[in-house]
Amino acid sequence: MPTYDYRCPDCGDFARMRRISERDTLCECPTCGTASPRAIVAAPSLGGTSAGSLDGGGAHMHSATCGCGSSGLKLAGRPS
């Protein structure tokens, strides 16, 4: 299952593994329980592969400014 990023208005960003069919449904904040919307609409994280990587090894195939997350852009709820 892919991991999606959500943003609680009170507690901040968090990530949740959900079915694709549930990706746009509000997600309960793990800290306070507030129904929270998706934070960034981007390609989901799938089992350790990174955006721009065909083999999961982290090879970046886009330009440094593509915004896919591998050029230092921090996605909500994900480590740098």
* Across 5-33, average pLDDT: 94
| CA distance linking residue 50 with residue 72, whole number of Å | 12
49 in Cβ contact with 13 (< 8 Å): no
Mean pLDDT in the chain? Answer: 73
Q: Which residue has the tokens 């996605």?
A: 75
Q: Which tokens belong to 49?
A: 């592969």
Q: Confirm if 23 and 36 have CB atoms less than 8 A apart.
A: no
Q: What is the pLDDT of residue 32?
A: 96
What would the mean pLDDT of 38-64 be, rounded to a whole number? 56
- Tell me which of 46 and 27 has the higher pLDDT: 27
Choose between 79 and 14: higher pLDDT.
14
What does DSSP assign to residue 75?
P
Rounded to whole angstroms, what are the CA distances from 18 to 14, 41, 42, 46, 48? 13, 14, 14, 11, 15
pTM of the model: 0.52
